[in-house]
């Protein structure tokens, strides 16, 4: 599986799972839970796609380590600011935000295990 295929599959799977969890949370527990799951999932997908793009650029010799470090710091700052704003104004429930973030790593692990199983 190429990095672009993995990125596409993980993005689609994560968006579908986050959408379903957000709809369920929104219907049962209210707006802050639904928005928290959506925001966490969206931030996770954006961060993942950025990470894959930068990793490919660095692996092919197109990026410097200093640019990688500065970009990672800016990405982390932007993500922390977005989470802070969502939580400060009460737009997102903290546990729902974490739940949204957690969907993507679980999907990456599942895709990696599936890929390892098929390559055997």
Q: How confident is residue 86, by pLDDT bands cut at 50, 70 and 90?
A: very high
Cβ atoms of 37 and 18 closer than 8 Å? yes
Question: pLDDT tens-digit profile of 34-65?
Answer: 999 999 999 999 999 998 888 888 888 777 77
Give percent of the chain with pLDDT exceeding 90: 68
In this predicted structure, what is the pLDDT of residue 2? 81
Burial 7-32 (b: 16+ CB within 10 A, else e): bebbbebbbebbeebbeebbeeeeeb
Q: Which token pair is 70?
A: 């500065």
């Amino acid at each position: 599986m190429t990095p672009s295929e993995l990125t596409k599959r993980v993005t689609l799977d994560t968006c579908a799972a986050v959408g379903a969890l957000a709809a369920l949370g929104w219907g049962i527990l209210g707006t802050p839970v639904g928005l928290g799951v959506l925001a966490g999932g969206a931030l996770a997908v954006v961060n993942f796609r950025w990470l894959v793009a930068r990793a490919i650029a660095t692996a092919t010799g197109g990026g410097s380590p200093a640019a990688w470090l500065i970009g990672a710091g800016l990405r982390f700052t932007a993500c922390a600011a977005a989470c802070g704003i969502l939580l400060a104004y009460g737009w997102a429930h903290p546990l729902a935000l974490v739940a949204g973030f957690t969907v993507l790593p679980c999907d990456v692990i599942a895709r990696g295990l599936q890929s390892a199983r098929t390559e055997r």
